């Protein structure tokens, strides 16, 4: 009867012992246990050995670093041999090549005792498991990179739409999503959830729309997913999704041309604010009466062209870039505008400062922002496909546009809603606007606390059915109402 040098008798492993180590090894393939380092540590403990897993360049991936014959390692890494073994200096070493899509690795197992059948079986099967795990990791990493690249591409398309470059947006989209942007009009939706749930929500938006919509993780708001779709069925699919998820809300725009994606996005964000207070958690932007629709179209076109005329000296692409950035910059903060456009906030500020200089406007003045916003809004909504206004229309200024009876009636009706509140919300709101939206300066003028000003402005929002604390279309319409009512002085612009 032969025995080992340490005097311990070797016997083949019992069936139960083999089943036990096999079960433990298979456990490492379960989703919760897929860790190559854990498998290498388990192998070391199971066969009482030192184990090393390294790549062809010698970098240690798991285990402990072992002195190895580099010529053998090179043969394994190069694919010339599949396995090797040697003994010396009181150690028995087994090496195995482990191949996976990116590179070949080398598994080395070193122990004092010779490799019996049990230890050899454990090493062989463990090498197979490590190969599966490395391949799975590589596949998962490739899948993650593909999903990231696709998401970046969707964001790039959205950014092109935001600056009205529909031709480039369609060209980019055609490669991966043929026909996605072939329609002339689309709706924009914003789905809101907790930021931690957004990735899952974005995936469900893709599934529910059957990838027939542009689904983008909003670069500015962590909890928002933006959906641009030319298909009517998208609204129902997104409503069903919101119904299934507590704490999720949906805001949608009215139908807009693709060139007006930025306008539609602002509408969807505005509708989202309403959706938070509705039982069904959804809202579509209400087509309420806008002041520009109460003005003479020809006169309004002439005035807008006059206000923006200082920009006409610029090259076409520069002018378009400045106008697109300013439209978004008047709706959102510089930081969020930068994220939406994919540029730095300094770039946004520089472009808007250039527009300020050319137009002779001061964007710290909320009334100036509102007036320039009106001119830009008029340009995109009323000038498309229209001929230039005649000299008579060109001569009318902002005062004449706001002095019309229809605009006056609209302003009195809107601001009159505030008169029912005994706190004199209308005076607070007007003072706050005159102070550039600064609660501290408005409070000094009124002789109250700044928090009181903020509470009054916040209280005016549901009465007027408009967001005021967040700059944008809602606020600018209220500013125009004050200008029409004579409560605020009209800003002076170089062209208007």
Q: What is the pLDDT of residues 339-364, one digit of tens each?
A: 888 889 999 999 999 999 999 999 99
Task: State the Cα–Cα distance between residues 408 and 412, nearest whole angstrom.
Answer: 6
Task: State the Cα–Cα distance between residues 434 and 229, nearest whole angstrom.
Answer: 39
Task: State the Cα–Cα distance between residues 336 and 221, nearest whole angstrom.
Answer: 8
Task: State the Cα–Cα distance between residues 435 and 446, nearest whole angstrom.
Answer: 11
Secondary structure (H, E, C), the chain: CCCCCCCCCCCCCCHHHHHHHHHHHHHCCCHHHCCHHHHHHHHHHHCCCEEEEEECCCCEEEECCCCCCHHHHHHHHCCCCCEEEEEECCEEEEEEEEECCCCEEEEEEEECCCCCHHHHHHHHHHHHHHHHHHHHHHHHHHHHHHHHHHHHHHHHHHHHHHCCCHHHHHHHHHHHCCCCCCCCEEEEEEEECCHHHHHHHHHHHHHHCCCCCEEEECCCCCCEEEEEECCCHHHHHHHHHHHHCCCCEEEECCCEEHHHHHHHHHHHHHHHHHHCCCCCCEEECCCCCCHHHHCCHHHHHHHHHHHHHHHHHCCHHHHHHHHHHHHHHHHCCHHHHHHHHCCCHHHHHHHHHHHHHHHCCCCCCHHHHHHHHHHHHHHHHHCCCCCCCCHHHHHCCHHHHHCCHHHHHHHHHHHHHHHHCCCCHHHHHHHHHHCCCCHHHHHHHHCCCHHHHHHHHHHHHHHHCCCCCCCCHHHHHHHHHHHHHCCCCCCCCCCC
Task: State the Cα–Cα distance between residues 415 and 409, nearest whole angstrom.
Answer: 10
Q: What is the structure's pLDDT at 341?
A: 87
Q: What is the pLDDT of residues 281-310, one digit of tens each?
A: 998 887 667 788 889 888 999 999 999 999
Q: Which of 114, 142, 109 is nearest to 41 (CA)?
A: 109
Query: Which tokens hold the place of 355?
Result: 């527009």
Q: What is the structure's pLDDT at 383?
A: 46
Task: State the Cα–Cα distance between residues 253 and 265, nearest whole angstrom.
Answer: 7
Which stretches in the chain have pLDDT values below 50?
1-15, 383-393
Task: State the Cα–Cα distance between residues 255 and 245, nearest whole angstrom.
Answer: 26
What is the C-alpha R_g of the chain? Answer: 34
Sign of CA dihedral 435, 441, 443, 446: negative
Residues in CB range of 29: below 8 A, 6 or more apart: 129, 132, 133
Task: State the Cα–Cα distance between residues 299 and 295, nearest whole angstrom.
Answer: 8
Q: What is the structure's pLDDT at 141?
A: 65
Q: Which of 55, 79, 80 is nearest to 68 (CA)?
A: 55
Task: State the Cα–Cα distance between residues 89 and 96, nearest whole angstrom.
Answer: 21
Q: What is the structure's pLDDT at 130?
A: 83
Q: What is the structure's pLDDT at 28?
A: 59
Long-range Cβ pairs for the range 404-408 (8 Å, 24+):
404/294, 404/295, 404/296, 406/294, 406/295, 407/291, 407/294, 407/295, 407/484, 408/484, 408/485
Q: What is the structure's pLDDT at 339?
A: 87
> Which of 339-377 are b and which e, b meaning 16 or more Cβ less than 10 Å from the residue's Cβ?
bbbbbebebbbebbebbbebbebebebbbbbbbbbbbbb
Task: State the Cα–Cα distance between residues 18 and 33, nearest whole angstrom.
Answer: 20
pTM of the model: 0.63
Q: What angle separates helix 198-208 from helix 233-244, to the nearest 10 degrees?
A: 140
Q: What is the structure's pLDDT at 496?
A: 61
């Amino acid at each position: 009867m032969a025995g080992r040098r340490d005097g311990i008798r070797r016997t083949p492993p019992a069936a139960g012992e083999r089943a036990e180590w096999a079960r433990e090894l298979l456990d490492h393939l379960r989703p919760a246990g897929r860790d190559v380092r854990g498998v290498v540590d388990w192998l070391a403990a199971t066969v009482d050995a030192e184990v090393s897993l390294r790549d062809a360049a010698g970098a240690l991936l798991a285990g402990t670093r072992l002195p190895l014959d580099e010529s053998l390692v090179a043969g394994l890494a190069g694919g010339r041999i599949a396995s090797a073994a040697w003994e010396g200096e009181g150690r028995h070493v087994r090496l195995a090549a482990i191949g996976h899509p990116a590179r070949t690795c080398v598994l080395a197992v070193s122990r004092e005792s010779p490799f019996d059948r049990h230890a050899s079986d454990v090493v062989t099967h463990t090498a197979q498991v490590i190969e599966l795990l490395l391949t799975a990791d590589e596949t998962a990493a490739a899948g993650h990179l593909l999903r990231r690249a696709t998401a970046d591409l969707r964001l790039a398309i959205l950014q092109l739409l935001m600056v009205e470059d529909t031709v480039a947006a369609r060209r980019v989209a055609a490669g991966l999503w043929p026909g996605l942007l072939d329609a002339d009009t689309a709706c924009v939706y914003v789905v809101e959830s907790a930021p931690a749930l957004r990735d899952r929500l974005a995936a469900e938006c893709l599934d529910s729309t059957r990838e027939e919509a542009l689904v983008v993780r909003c670069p500015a708001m962590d909890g928002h997913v933006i959906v641009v779709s030319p298909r009517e069925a998208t609204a129902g699919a997104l409503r069903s999704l919101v119904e299934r998820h507590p704490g999720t809300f949906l805001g949608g725009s009215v139908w807009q041309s693709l060139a007006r994606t930025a306008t539609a996005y602002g509408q969807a964000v505005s509708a989202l604010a309403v959706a938070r207070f509705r039982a069904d958690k959804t809202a579509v932007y209400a087509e309420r009466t806008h002041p520009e629709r109460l003005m003479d179209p020809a006169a309004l076109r002439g005035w807008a062209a006059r206000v923006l005329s200082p920009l006409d000296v610029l090259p076409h692409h520069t002018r378009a870039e400045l106008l697109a950035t300013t439209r978004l910059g008047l709706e959102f903060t510089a930081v969020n505008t930068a994220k939406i456009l994919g540029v730095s906030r300094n770039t946004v500020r520089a472009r808007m400062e250039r527009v300020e200089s050319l137009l002779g406007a001061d964007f710290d003045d909320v009334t100036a922002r509102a007036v320039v916003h009106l001119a830009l809004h008029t340009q995109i909504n009323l000038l498309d496909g229209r001929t230039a206004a005649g000299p008579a229309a060109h001569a009318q200024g902002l005062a004449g546009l706001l002095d019309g009876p229809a605009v006056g009636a609209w302003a009195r009706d809107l601001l009159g809603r505030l008169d029912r509140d005994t706190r004199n919300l209308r005076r607070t709101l007007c003072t706050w606007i005159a102070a550039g939206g600064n609660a501290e300066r408005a409070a000094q003028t009124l002789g109250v606390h700044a928090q009181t000003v903020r509470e009054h402005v916040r209280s005016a929002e549901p009465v007027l059915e408009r967001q005021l604390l967040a700059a944008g279309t809602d606020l600018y319409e209220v500013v125009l109402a004050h200008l029409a009512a004579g409560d605020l002085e009209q800003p002076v612009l170089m062209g208007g």
